[in-house]
Amino acid sequence: MQKENNGAPPQKSSTAGLALLALGIVFGDIGTSPLYAVKETFAPGHGIPLNTENILGGLSTIFWSIMVVVSIKYVMLIMRADNKGEGGIMALLALVSSAFKGEGGARAPILMLGVIGAALFFGDAVLTPAISVLSAVEGLEVGTAAFKPYVVPIAVAVITTLFAFQRHGTAVVGAFFGPICLVWFLALGAVGLYNIGQNPVVLEALNPLHALRFVTGHGFASFVVLGAVLLAFTGAEALYADMGHFGKRAVRLAWFGLVLPALVLNYFGQGALLIARPEALANPFYHAYPDWALYPMIALATAATVIASQATISGAYSITRQAMQLGYLPRMSVQHTSEKEIGQIYVPGLNWILLAAVLAAVIGFGSSSKLASAYGVAVVGTMMIDTVLTFFVIRFNWGYNLLLAAFATGFFLLVDVTFFSASLLKIGEGGWFPLTVGAAMFAIMVTWRRGRELLLAQLKQSSVPLDAFLKSLFKSPPIRIPGTAVFLTSTPGAVPHAMLHNLAHNKVLHERVVFLTVLIKDVPWVPTEERIRIEDLGNNCFQLTVHFGFKDSPDVMQALELCRAQELAFEPLQTSFFLSRETVIPSIRQKGMALWRERLFSTMARNAGSAVEYFNLPTNRVIELGTQVEI
């Protein structure tokens, strides 16, 4: 499989063409919210009577929540906070991190916020496929109750097929995502328009006073119901996260030109139906369609939810690779599934872990209504952290004064905190599930980061300064043999352990020696002309530093080709790569982490993916030399 191109972001097509593609990838999640958002907002369990006044209030709350959180906060504000065109919480974290370099006291808690947000994203990545597919398949129950025992097995089969297909990539079916979602949004808008025509009184919900009365007029129940209203804008993070694939203009065009009108029409159409037929609350989405359209809509909804799930799964792959690049996760096998499309990757280990978690959610909760109780906590938590990080971007990256930065984000933070507080009421009903997933991912990410810091500190403490070593070595040089030796080292300026072992055992030195360090920068893409830096150390020894962005594929062999222009050519058959492989030994004697964390880090380090595959090194030219390190 051909490796991903380096040094430049994906090439952009026309804005209209990208907007069509974005319908599936960017808006798949938020576009399937009508399947369950209205039903859960007006669920009898909230204790709010289902009458015209409350239906108008609920619709108004949904409408203005979407306008404030999605249209104004994400589409108009946060999408401006891009990292060289890339979005998403890891890109935002890298952007904020670059503004606080050298300020460890302020930087550490901000970095932790970003890691928490990234960890919560994985909770969302589990629940989105589960609730989306299950709610689509539940339409079969509307046709006949005889299908009820088969809903969960069918959902399990659809989800399993989706995850099993991941290794083939989405290039083949990706071309159909946009057109399918175009039909989906047109169908949402059309049925909504039809039902509004039957009961146009619902248009009064555009008045924000209805929303104000709804969220203040029912005591504690008004607060509780916000935990269901937020289901209408889950997926807003995807607008920002996938911005780099399509560009701001395409995402904004698709949102304001089609997605927002279709969603609003559909929500208002479901409200119009409930005013006329309150008994339709069992499933207002499917009851809004005429009988002849039910099964075609179930098929279309299933296709749309599969696309929404695919977007979330692809997002999980992307954020995992970014976390690996930025040093928050161990190396894992990453396969590029397209020779043409940049960013289409497959992470086998993560894929099967996600599948197991999604199936556990589908089988364990059993219905979309029960899953709705679990959904939202992780999503709104991530949104809240996005807002906080955006404040630091506005204040420190853009240089706006404190008052303006606080004003620009303070209102949105208040909205986020309100919805997040309401979602916390659902912890006992299932909200614990995504929080548990998020907590596990957070523990893994901070343990790996801290473990790497301790490991590098131990290696540096026991290392020999490179300059002094080379001066001493060449006073009485060893036998030099033909060829080039490349020593990969994460601590430039120190002698690689692999070199010490090689000299101790083989007592020879290659005629040319290169010390290679790979650095990941806080930007998504590093231009080709900035990729390499070569320093001549004398005696035919060189320090080579290779820079990659956190969305670049760290292809060392491709980077070595760039050295030819600087008169440092590498002949593949004459080049040997020496790697140090550290075996981590947990120890209570060292002041590092808690013993359980040290054992967790040791396990992750032992099972981390091969550096050979990760850096695209030729397997028949690699020599690995091991060493034990206590942390």
Please report, for the domain that includes residue 585, its CATH number: 3.40.50
Please state the domain count of the chain.
2
Cα 441 to Cα 320: distance, rounded to the nearest angstrom? 11
- Residue 225 forms part of a structural domain: yes
From the list 513, 630, 543, 539, the residue with the least C-alpha distance to 583 is 630
Q: Is this prediction's pTM over 0.85?
A: no
Q: Which residue has the higher pLDDT, 543 or 170?
A: 543
| 3 pLDDT higher than 50 | no
DSSP string, 576-623: EEEEEEEEEE--SSSSSS-HHHHHHHHHHHHHSPPHHHHTT--GGGEE
- Residue 208 forms part of a structural domain: yes
C-alpha distance from residue 53 to each of 220, 224, 271 (Å): 18, 18, 11
C-alpha distance from residue 446 to each of 104, 181, 453, 600, 601 (Å): 16, 38, 11, 11, 10
- Residue 444 forms part of a structural domain: yes
Q: How many CB atoms lie within 10 A of CB 583?
A: 11
Report strand pairing: 335-336 vs 345-346: antiparallel
Q: How many CB atoms lie within 10 A of CB 181?
A: 30
Q: Are residues 422 and 545 in the same domain?
A: no
Provide the pLDDT for residue 377: 87
| 194 pLDDT higher than 50 | yes
Q: Which residue has the higher pLDDT, 570 or 408?
A: 570
| 331 pLDDT higher than 60 | yes
Q: Are residues 307 and 444 in the same domain?
A: yes
Q: Are residues 162 and 38 in the same domain?
A: yes
Whether 582 contacts 459, CB under 8 Å = yes
Q: Are residues 372 and 468 in the same domain?
A: no
Q: Which of 451, 483, 518 is the last residue of a domain?
A: 451
What residues does 538 pair with on adjacent strands?
541
pLDDT mean over 255-261 = 95
- Residue 9 forms part of a structural domain: no
Cα 144 to Cα 117: distance, rounded to the nearest angstrom? 42
- Residue 459 forms part of a structural domain: no
Q: Which of 429, 451, 473 is the last residue of a domain?
A: 451
Whether 588 contacts 595, CB under 8 Å = yes
Q: Are residues 419 and 539 in the same domain?
A: no
Q: Are residues 26 and 123 in the same domain?
A: yes
> Domain range for residue 322?
15-451
Q: Are residues 43 and 91 in the same domain?
A: yes
Helix locations, 138-219, DSSP H: 139-143, 151-164, 171-198, 208-216
Q: Are residues 223 and 337 in the same domain?
A: yes
Helix locations, 393-537, DSSP H: 402-424, 432-461, 466-473, 497-506
Q: Are residues 433 and 575 in the same domain?
A: no
Q: Are residues 131 and 191 in the same domain?
A: yes
Cα 66 to Cα 260: distance, rounded to the nearest angstrom? 9
pLDDT tens-place string over residues 11-20: 445 778 778 8
Q: Are residues 552 and 434 in the same domain?
A: no
> How high does pLDDT run on average in the chain?
88
Q: Which residue has the higher pLDDT, 337 or 352?
A: 352
- Residue 47 forms part of a structural domain: yes
- Residue 8 forms part of a structural domain: no
Query: What is the CATH classification number for the domain harbouring 99?
Result: 1.20.1740.10
Q: Which of 392, 417, 451 is the last residue of a domain?
A: 451
Cα 596 to Cα 59: distance, rounded to the nearest angstrom? 49
- Residue 243 forms part of a structural domain: yes
Cα 278 to Cα 54: distance, rounded to the nearest angstrom? 12
Whether 39 contacts 285, CB under 8 Å = yes
Provide the pLDDT for residue 5: 46
C-alpha distance from residue 363 to each of 24, 198, 440 (Å): 26, 39, 21
Q: Are residues 148 and 292 in the same domain?
A: yes
Q: Can you read off the two tokens belonging to residue 267? A: 């929500």
